[in-house]
Structure 1
């Protein structure tokens, strides 16, 4: 828990809003980015500078990411269906979160899940990962899963390479193989995971790099990624998208929860969980 007070959070968020305006980010998107950041700070209890960095830098990263065109990347024809979600509904007490959602993702495809705060994006991804049960509907996964949560997911007292060994063991990897694979994936995010720093002392952005690396260990067929770029700087955010395109080219099926998406050619399908877009049932 950070010792930075919520009042300081509000000052940082106000500065972020101003910087987004200065960079010409669309007003609705800017409001959504600020709201997402506020939710993350409230839920994590962390200091905004530790998670996102200075407001000007984070705003520049957002402006760059939504304005950057996707480079030409190799895209093979989609393969067999890897994930099928049919009629997914979920309610918490009297609050209906998801209503009759369908999603099909094939090998070699990226699906983006978008929507406002509280629209059920993370709940839907947890259901797809088998970490939560729907009230109605069914999810079928054809292959193995790698899952990256929005927060948490790491052991405070383990260093990154110990995470590689632990998760790798669960996926049938020998210790040296797991370490080597973890270092290779980390290098793609411009991160050196070696050293004695425990997860609890890593920045929010670095912990998300760790979570993303862990999701890719063992070469899973399906990758479920819940806003894994929280706290990434501009360069790492672009590295993240290049990693997704590489995974797609390798035949992975990818579902990514995002709020920074404005160019639909980055992905193959979009599931919008805004209330007006969900089926009524």
Structure 2
């Protein structure tokens, strides 16, 4: 069976909160094997767009389609402080109905936090919590991965390892969407869109779009 022509399709999505129109007709189509980015200033609607894409919030109008399994790494980690890293992995393995934790073991080593597997989340640093947050989103090897400021709190080495992981996912045919308010690392991405005034517009990675400040995507 031939591969589907797109992994993620967003067609004319609108979302308002009372009288405030946040998304005013967002169009976005991403193919399998794409490492993409959406950038925008704080308050531009990035979090709202991600909630719509992940199914947490219903759009007022428009359509969102994705093909294959979906993974979502929110900016604020949804973790239980009383559980250890290993307990989180085992709980999510059961939730995803996975046979084993081979993928988790790979990520523990790759992101350099295997030593914390028996540590409760409340004792972890912000960066290590974010490593666990990312690992849980990747545990079931999703076809479409949504990442909201995924490297927040990472040190430089882990930041580079994150891009290694994202690139390998892309090379394996996964669709990875990174959402951030900064745009310095746009050259790492295949496709970049700017979210501004409620719409998403493509721009070239060889220039910085107006209204987007920044140091690192």
Pair in the same fold by TM > 0.5:
yes
State the distance in 2 between where 1:270 and 1:235 align.
Answer: 24
Could you say which residue in structure 1 is the equivalent of 2:90?
165
Runs (4+) off by over 6 Å = none
Counterpart selection for 2:123 from 193, 201, 205? 201
Counterpart selection for 1:214 from 126, 129, 136? 136
How far has the Cα of 1:263 moved from its partner?
4.2
Aligned residues: 199
Q: Aligned to 1:270, what secondary structure does the other structure show?
A: strand
User: Larger % of helix: which?
Assistant: 1
Contact 1:88 1:134 in 2 (8 A): yes
* Residue 246 (structure 1) aligned with residue 168 (structure 2): yes
Q: Aligned to 1:273, what secondary structure does the other structure show?
A: strand
How far has the Cα of 1:91 moved from its partner?
1.0
Change (3 A) 1:154 1:242: same
Counterpart selection for 1:226 from 148, 159, 165? 148
Counterpart selection for 1:96 from 9, 17, 21? 21
Contact 1:160 1:193 in 2 (8 A): no
State the distance in 1 between where 2:198 and 2:140 align.
Answer: 38
Could you say which residue in structure 1 is the equivalent of 2:68?
143
In structure 2, the gaps of 5 or more residues are 202-217
Could you say which residue in structure 2 is the equivalent of 1:114?
39
In structure 1, the gaps of 5 or more residues are 1-77
How far has the Cα of 1:80 moved from its partner?
3.3
State the distance in 1 between where 2:199 and 2:21 align.
Answer: 14
Change (3 A) 1:260 1:188: farther
- Structure 1 vs Structure 2 CA RMSD: 1.9
State the distance in 2 between where 1:260 and 1:273 align.
Answer: 12
User: Larger % of strand: which?
Assistant: 2
Q: Which has the higher contact order (CA 8 A, sep 6+)?
A: 2
